Amino acid sequence: EDQVTQSPEALRLQEGESSSLNCSYTVSGLRGLFWYRQDPGKGPEFLFTLYSAGEEKEKERLKATLTKKESFLHITAPKPEDSATYLCAVQADGSGNTGKLIFGQGTTLQVKP
Amino acid sequence: DARVTQTPRDKVTEMGQEVTMRCQPILGHNTVFWYRQTMMQGLELLAYFRNRAPLDDSGMPKDRFSAEMPDATLATLKIQPSEPRDSAVYFCASGSTSGRTNEQFFGPGTRLTVL
């Protein structure tokens, strides 16, 4: 069964304290891995798509990396405005061309000033 | 700035009442997804469409939930009758199957409270 697991569930950082969020996945074949950011009271906001192992994408203080079994979202020198829930999702080859995603439970990040 | 829109943003209703949520996908997108989000379950996929045709609605209770796409600019999710356990935030997302992968773009959600 296709599955996505994120860790930790919650993470508290001091401003400037770099860290990483983990997304482990089990799928029959990976078509794409997606990272989203969700702020309280809002819908998930698309951040990155990764297609194959070894690929990296960057946006401001965020860098996403991908291996054959997991993805990391590295946050460098975070600021309080980076506080949000970060969601990982995968699209499996078995989904055909439906666009169906399998989401993890998310990691809630809190960055204190 | 293309965005998915959802109405209403908030809905409070009594148990047993019908609830209709609406979604306008991004123009040009051919897939639409309905999700429910709760603290306990996270994001649950309820139903999805491609080119207005329903592909899978196995994630939603058949006896009370229904999802339709009367045209390419409107998707609806109905609950009849509503129950307190339906209280959640309902998200609509749209995407396109024309690319290599199919990023989904989410609307702001409808917060439903059933008393």
pLDDT digits (tens, 9 = 90+) for A26-46: 988 888 999 999 999 999 999
Residue range A2-29: average pLDDT?
95
A87 CB burial (10 A radius; 0-12, 13-18, 19+): buried
Mean per-residue pLDDT for A61-82? 97
What pLDDT does B58 receive? Answer: 85
Torsion of CA A26, A28, A34, A36, to 10 degrees: -50
State mean pLDDT over A80-103: 87
Stretch B14-23: mean pLDDT: 98
Is residue A93 less than 8 Å (CB to CB) from chain B? no
- Is some CB atom of chain A closer than 8 A to the CB atom of B102? yes
Look at the block and give the residue holding tokens 């306990």.
Answer: B40
Q: Given a cut of 90, is residue B102 above it in pLDDT?
A: no
The answer to whether the Cβ–Cβ distance between A43 and B93 falls below 8 Å is yes
Residue B16 has pLDDT above 70, yes or no: yes
pLDDT average, residue stretch A38-64: 95
Q: What angle do CA A66, A56, A1 make, to 5 degrees?
A: 25
On whether any CB of chain A is under 8 Å from the CB of B25, the answer is no
In B72-91, the residues whose Cβ lies within 8 Å of chain A are 91
Nearest chain A Cα to B49, which residue? A98
Extract the runs of DSSP E, i.e. beta strands, from B2-109: 5-7, 10-13, 19-24, 31-38, 42-50, 53-56, 65-71, 74-79, 88-95, 104-106
Average pLDDT along chain B? 93
Chain position carrying tokens 């649950």: B44
CA distance B78 to chain A (A): 20
Any B CB within 8 A of A50 CB: no
- Best probe of the B interface among A39, A103, A108, by most B CBs < 10 A, is A103
CA distance B30 to B115: 35
Mean pLDDT of the region B54-60: 88
Task: For chain A, give the percent of residues with pLDDT over 70.
Answer: 96
Backbone phi, psi, residue A94, to 5°:
-65, -10
Is residue B2 less than 8 Å (CB to CB) from chain A?
Answer: no
pLDDT beyond 70 at B24: yes
Nearest-angstrom CA–CA distance, B43 and B40: 9
Alpha-carbon gap, residue B32 to B51, rounded angstroms: 9
Q: What is the pLDDT of residue A96?
A: 63
A49 and B103 within 8 Å at the Cβ level: the answer is yes
Instruction: Tell me what pLDDT residue A53 has.
Output: 93
Place of tokens 């997302």: B93
Q: Is A28 exposed, middle or buried (0-12, 13-18, 19+ CB in 10 A)?
A: exposed
B110 band by pLDDT with thresholds 50, 70 and 90: very high
